[in-house]
A and B are shown apart, each in its own frame.
Chain A
Amino acid sequence: EDQVTQSPEALRLQEGESSSLNCSYTVSGLRGLFWYRQDPGKGPEFLFTLYSAGEEKEKERLKATLTKKESFLHITAPKPEDSATYLCAVHLSGGYQKVTFGTGTKLQVIP
């Protein structure tokens, strides 16, 4: 069975304290791994797509990396406005509907 596990469930950081969020997966036929940000009361907002092991993407204080079994979302010197829930999702071969979401990591950045 295809599984996506995100850790930790929740993370509390001081402003400026860098850390990483993890998304591990056991799937067959990975077509892409996606990171989304979700603010309270809002829908997920797309951040990154990673397609192959070794690939990296960056956006402001965020950097996403991918290996054959997991992806990391590194947050460098976070600010309070980075507080949100971060979701990862894997898209699999076999059709548009073949997507599995993780349960997310809730990040709180304290001033």
Chain B
Amino acid sequence: NAGVTQTPKFQVLKTGQSMTLQCAQDMNHEYMSWYRQDPGMGLRLIHYSVGAGITDQGEVPNGYNVSRSTTEDFPLRLLSAAPSQTSVYFCATSTGGSNQPQHFGDGTRLSIL
């Protein structure tokens, strides 16, 4: 099993460009989340989904959109990239509930010039 697969692994964008970060899972987990990780800061939740068709905002949602049309996929869209969005982005899945561990992908390293 692949677990949680994120693509691309690296990306460089220019300010104002848009792009989609892909996340796919084969664990049949209902819960999926997007985090960003910045130096000196803990992982911060961007958006999350508790099932297909259901999404909601996390702590730092501005500038990002998500959708969840299937259980397996949870793409993250940057609408108009800004240098402040330079970060490492992680997708995570869980069987659900706030007392269940999360399973993370290996991240997308994104630089905005």
**Interface residues of A toward B: which range?**
20 to 34
Q: Is the CB of B48 within 8 A of A97?
A: yes
Count of inter-chain pairs, beta carbons less than 8 A = 64
Whole-angstrom distance between the Cβ of A26 and the nearest chain B Cβ:
14
B16-58 interface code vs A (CB 8 A; 1 in, 0 out) = 0000000000000001010000001111110010100000101
Task: For A103, give the chain B residue with the smallest CB separation.
Answer: B42
Spot the interface stretch: A12-20, A37-45, A62-70, A71-79: A37-45
Q: A: which residues have CB within 8 A of B?
A: 4, 31-32, 34, 36, 41-46, 49, 51, 87, 89, 91-104
Q: B: which residues have CB within 8 A of A?
A: 4, 31, 33, 40-45, 48, 50, 56, 58, 90, 92, 94, 96-99, 101-107
CB-CB under 8 A from B48, the residues of chain A are: 96-97
Task: For A48, give the chain B residue with the smallest CB separation.
Answer: B101
Task: For B44, give the chain A residue with the smallest CB separation.
Answer: A101
Q: Is the CB of B98 within 8 A of A41?
A: no
Q: Is the CB of A46 within 8 A of B99?
A: no
Q: Is the CB of B106 within 8 A of A102?
A: no
CB-CB under 8 A from B90, the residues of chain A are: 43-44
Q: Is the CB of A44 within 8 A of B41?
A: no
Partner of A103, one of B41, B45, B96, B97: B41
Task: For A51, give the chain B residue with the smallest CB separation.
Answer: B99
CB-CB under 8 A from B94, the residues of chain A are: 96
Complex Cα–Cα for A93 and B102 (A): 16
CB-CB under 8 A from B58, the residues of chain A are: 97
Q: Is the CB of B42 within 8 A of A31?
A: no
Partner of A44, one of B44, B56, B97, B104: B104
Complex Cα–Cα for A91 and B45 (A): 13
Task: For A34, give the chain B residue with the smallest CB separation.
Answer: B101
